[in-house]
Structure 1
């Protein structure tokens, strides 16, 4: 009965309260879960354990965070890693030489770098597919083991129908892996739609303050959970206690941050559409976006990420050099608004022909909208754009 009540709780509440910890006084009533900064743990006796033996295997602070993230994604298990790329790297250990994966053509540059320079070297084959518009089933081979997508994608904001793709992967008995970083569990829950594994860069919206790195893998399958647990204790990529504390603290405000950032993003996207030096604005909250109806069906919001293309490369460069409160920086998902140049930052290692194919030109900028007062953000953009125009 208590579990049913817990599952019925709204996500804002689940960000703050882990049901199984309620009523417990074993941490002296502390409102913030303690940082267990210990590498090892004493045994009560031979053959006995407190439940913790060595922090590479598990740490109480990390376990508390993992249970929180599993709850937010409605999974049975979540594992916390030292970065998002550490999480994806371990996930790739599910596969062996000769296995084939279908991956979305528009992915974060770090994922593409890993697949091209590490996974392929280890004998894994890839097919790069526009999963939002192509027939993924046509690319499935006898040795295909998984489909890996982002939705929306980074940075071109393509939207894939997770439920429809899950029907294909289940029919062929292969895994569906979804990177849910851009929307966070607050706006989207891929496991509910048929995914087997969810990936997060916890550095982004889950942490929310640009002060630490983290990554997560979440699953609703016991066999995958068991395999991940074996791999994380073997490879030692688990998140350190203090970083777990910071991410847990960030999650408590996930709901209010996502709502505010999305409100700001919508206003900025509308403003950008009216600018004569802007050729295109890509935001899935616009009705003309090809993925708009899918987003309405599978997500609870459109997020705070947007991409826009200027009419000239010089305009893009000048904007990056003239912003002040808005920061020209990599990453996303923090309380601060950041603007990024995919060509030289997030996608610098992506082959040029793939960048061009995906629409990532030297005129494209990506913006992660923060929670500042939107009037201040618009005022700065107006000043910067006026300077860029030479007004």
Structure 2
């Protein structure tokens, strides 16, 4: 499907990737449960195998169900090309490794997803790639960190789990002035709330495990954006790393996309209601949510986001207080993921960011009592009641 440029996102996401003519009239894209595709002749075998002609030959290099998801993601994010992969980290690592080489330099936000940090701190230095971390709330910090070897600016906004924002257009302006490629993790916001490619970012990555799938029943990732980068990720990096998405998983992500707009409307409204409740609770020290007027970058969030998302974090004091709260929720589930229809809560210091040294964690705002809340689509009054009773134990 090739949507009209004037078509609403809510319409595009329902029909993205549809091609009944290509799939024998099937409105729902079939699951092509095969590892191999037969060539009609030797010449086509050569051309398809080398990527000179469209087609499929081996599951690691593509599948029609996977291709339907990739087309859908191009439509909903506005990208030239996409590559679906086995996980969000497969998407992040493939995107980065398709851009940098030994001797190159990356500038990244100090506050970001912990496993992305593990990639930047652990694997990349072994490959001869240097990384500098900056306070990404000020675009000037990216510029100050640039060296003659800087090849990539990495962005994450809102940041995990501090909800700090990046001025996307300002960072892109710095990058373009110095011919630096930009890669942005748009998992928290989703393309419903934020369109980084429209703001000039070169490549967007998603953990499709989260909001795109939406139901906590799959693990997947997506790269979408500039064709040359995506092509390198497809035909070079992932060809040897092999982080291939399964056809059944690709189909589940496509199905999840159909309800993305509806779910995000509810995630957004529920999160704002819970953020306001928590901001007025005497046992909560601070709430981080870009939809609150008290968020230091609320004006920026209003400018570059359609909605403020389903993610928030709040501080209840210390490690013991944080653990007591998560041990006493009844409706919320204690789990490390996010973007599910169910509300999920975690204590960041002892869970996802336990691998980060305490001094570094505190320096970027991940305090001992910080709790991350992925607000689901339940009745918001029930969620407020659950948090209210759990806070009595803090």
TM-score for both structures, normalised by structure 2: 0.94
- The structural deviation recorded for 1:14 is 1.4
Task: Mark the runs of 5 or more structure 2 residues left unpaired by the alignment.
Answer: 46-53
| Partner in structure 1 of residue 75 of structure 2 | 71
Please state if 1:45 is matched with 2:10: no
Equivalent position SS for 2:267? helix
Distance in 2 (alpha carbons) for counterparts of 1:381 and 1:19: 39
Given the alignment, which residue of 11, 14, 18 partners 1:13? 11
| Partner in structure 1 of residue 30 of structure 2 | 34
In the alignment, is the contact (CA less than 8 A) between 1:132 and 1:159 conserved in 2? yes
Distance in 1 (alpha carbons) for counterparts of 2:16 and 2:280: 45
In the alignment, is the contact (CA less than 8 A) between 2:313 and 2:373 conserved in 1? yes
Distance in 2 (alpha carbons) for counterparts of 1:121 and 1:352: 24
- The structural deviation recorded for 1:113 is 0.7
1:36-62 Cα offsets, whole Å, 9 max, x none, are: 010001122232368211111110000
Given the alignment, which residue of 167, 190, 193 partners 2:196? 190
Please state if 1:86 is matched with 2:90: yes
| Partner in structure 2 of residue 111 of structure 1 | 116
Name segments (4+ residues, structure 1) moved above 4 Å. Answer: none
Distance in 1 (alpha carbons) for counterparts of 2:17 and 2:309: 27
- The structural deviation recorded for 1:92 is 2.5
| Partner in structure 2 of residue 56 of structure 1 | 60
Equivalent position SS for 2:187? coil
In the alignment, is the contact (CA less than 8 A) between 2:84 and 2:244 conserved in 1? yes
In the alignment, is the contact (CA less than 8 A) between 1:6 and 1:19 conserved in 2? no
Given the alignment, which residue of 294, 302, 305 partners 2:300? 294
1:280-359, aligned counterparts within 5 Å? 280-359=286-365
- The structural deviation recorded for 1:312 is 4.0
Distance in 2 (alpha carbons) for counterparts of 1:377 and 1:53: 49
1:154-174 Cα offsets, whole Å, 9 max, x none, are: 011111110111110000000
Could you tell which deviates more after superposition, 150-159 or 9-18?
9-18
Task: Mark the runs of 5 or more structure 1 residues left unpaired by the alignment.
Answer: none
Equivalent position SS for 1:164? helix
Distance in 2 (alpha carbons) for counterparts of 1:225 and 1:311: 43
1:21-77 Cα offsets, whole Å, 9 max, x none, are: 2xx345343332111010001122232368211111110000000110111110011
1:165-197 Cα offsets, whole Å, 9 max, x none, are: 111000000011111010001111101101111
Equivalent position SS for 1:7? coil
In the alignment, is the contact (CA less than 8 A) between 2:100 and 2:152 conserved in 1? no
1:168-317, aligned counterparts within 5 Å? 168-219=174-225, 221-230=226-235, 231-317=237-323
In the alignment, is the contact (CA less than 8 A) between 2:317 and 2:368 conserved in 1? no
What is the RMSD computed on CA atoms of the aligned residues?
1.6
1:80-108 Cα offsets, whole Å, 9 max, x none, are: 11001111111232211111100000000
Distance in 2 (alpha carbons) for counterparts of 1:162 and 1:382: 36
- The structural deviation recorded for 1:146 is 0.9
| Partner in structure 2 of residue 161 of structure 1 | 167
- The structural deviation recorded for 1:341 is 1.1
- The structural deviation recorded for 1:352 is 1.9
Equivalent position SS for 2:391? helix
| Partner in structure 2 of residue 376 of structure 1 | 382
Distance in 2 (alpha carbons) for counterparts of 1:301 and 1:59: 34
Distance in 1 (alpha carbons) for counterparts of 2:17 and 2:390: 48
| Partner in structure 2 of residue 123 of structure 1 | 128
